[in-house]
Amino acid sequence: MSTTRAIAKNTVIQFASRALATILGVAVIGVMTRELGLDGFGAYTTASAFIQIFGVLTDFGISIVALQMLSEADANQAKILGNALTLRFATAAVFLGMAPLVALAFPYPLIIKLGILLFVPSQFANAGVQVLTTVFQRRLRMERAAAGELTSRVIQILGVVAAAFYDWGLLGIIAAIAAGNLVQFILAFVLAEKTEPFKLEVDRRMWREIMRRSAPIGLSIAFNVIYLRADALILSLTRTQAEVGLYGAAYRVIDVLTVLPFLFMGLIMPLMSNAWSIGDRNRLARITQRAFDAMAIAAIPLAAGAAILGRPLMRLVAGDAFEVSGGILAILTVGLASIFIGAVAGHGIVALGLQGKMVRFYAADAAISLALYFLAIPRFGVWGAAGVTVFSELFIAIAASALYLRRSGIHLRLSVAAKSILASAAMAGLLFILRDLPILAGIAIGGVIYLTFLFILGGIPKEILAQLRRQPSDV
């Protein structure tokens, strides 16, 4: 099977599994919001945002550096994986162990502090899954990663439904989420070991090399935490838990979708690294262009559709009490589109070994965004938080793209993105006229309208059409 066809197959698997995982994830949100209400879901959002700050810090860039190292010629796959996973466990133990202790200093009620404690094993499992997923990305065996994620989602929805039925409250729901994540880690570990046999090990020289490469990414992630999670934290300290709940419901939908560009670029980055390492700039340019076109085709209609369907969508997902979250979702989706587009340059920067050059941009973004959060959230609440979040994502996407394109010498063509904008505008206009339709019908019709206009405008790259027409025997 050709590399292009293998990537296409794995991308289809990812998106199909992610679509199903998204449905299950949205179902989990729906049960939680209806069971906990605005205040209870606000408490869940506060505990989740707090632990995620420490959870993100555990990464320190180890996962993406492991993928880069696994993609290099003559790489010792088992040794790299075993050391990267052990190192990730070590950083997780340090940072996640700190979280419940730091939480004691915050003026949160006991239920939120206990929730933070219960989230620790869940985040520890996530830390392991992120490293193990690099094996499936490198080997183009994402169906194995999908199996673990879908199993996790099923366990979570069953556990959350049980918690609601038996009235186990917030802590019961968090325990159900943690159980699903732990099962996903166990499955990922078993399947990764079958794909690329390895064992946990500590090689100080390997640890130093991983840390040397990941240090700029880790520092960037530390700044990244400030502008990604400070919004919910500042909301929890300055506004009511009900308002945190409104913001958290919209943000949870965004979180479910945010993983898509990183899964896709996880497949693409090894190709970028290889092209750059052998000096094939033309191939790197082709890979970058196709990745950018794919992200534009996926991201732009999401933002356009959310602007029209955001409120009815959140009524369907979370219940009537969370209708206001639809307006928040419409704003945050602009930031989501920036994440999609920026993921291309972000992974390209790692492929080129330019991680250190991005630190100053993350630092600037963190400083500006944090100041804006403190100014906007006390005055404008969730609307201020959403607006600043969009600014922060746009800022870093533009900075990363400018750095990557300048250092790689690549000149992107924007024709597909422009056609996606036109098709999305046509879709949004027709959806506005048909806005009284049931939400699921609106989503389906919107997708058909968008793809139809995109095809008419010639926005679907010829390479993709040719690949779709090609028979297996042609490869």
Q: What contacts 24+ positions apart, CB below 8 Å, involve 112-115?
A: 112/43, 112/46, 112/47, 112/50, 114/171, 115/43, 115/44, 115/47, 115/48, 115/170, 115/171, 115/174
Q: Which helix (H) or strand (E) holds 5?
A: helix 3-59
The tokens describing 218, both together, are: 């880790």
Is residue 306 a part of any domain in this protein?
yes
Place of tokens 């620790």: 120
- Please give the pLDDT value at position 471: 41
Structural domain contains residue 428: no
Consecutive 10-residue averages of pLDDT for the chain (475 residues): 56 67 80 90 91 78 73 73 84 88 92 93 85 72 76 88 90 92 88 79 82 76 72 89 91 82 80 85 90 92 91 89 92 92 89 82 88 92 93 92 92 92 94 88 92 88 52 37
Which amino acid is it at 419?
K
DSSP 389-418: HHHHHHHHHHHHHHHHHHHHT-----HHHH
Q: For residue 473, what pLDDT is reported?
A: 36
Let me know if residue 440 belongs to a domain.
Answer: no
145 within a domain of the structure (yes/no): yes
Count of other CB atoms within 10 angstroms of residue 468: 9
Identify whether 448 is part of a domain: no
284 falls within a domain: yes
Say which residues have a Cβ less than 8 Å from residue 267's Cβ, sequence separation at least 6.
7, 10, 11, 14, 137, 140, 142
Cα 427 to its chain centre, rounded Å, is 25
pLDDT reported for residue 140: 64
pLDDT of residue 353: 81
* 425 part of a folded domain: no
What's residue 296's pLDDT?
Answer: 92
Nearest residue to 388 (alpha-carbon basis) of 411, 405, 403, 371: 371
Is 453 within the bounds of a domain?
no
Number of domains making up the chain? 1
Phi, psi of 196 (to 5 degrees): -145, 90
> Quick one: CA torsion of 397, 29, 173, 145, rounded to 10 degrees?
-60
What is the domain range of residue 269? Answer: 3-413
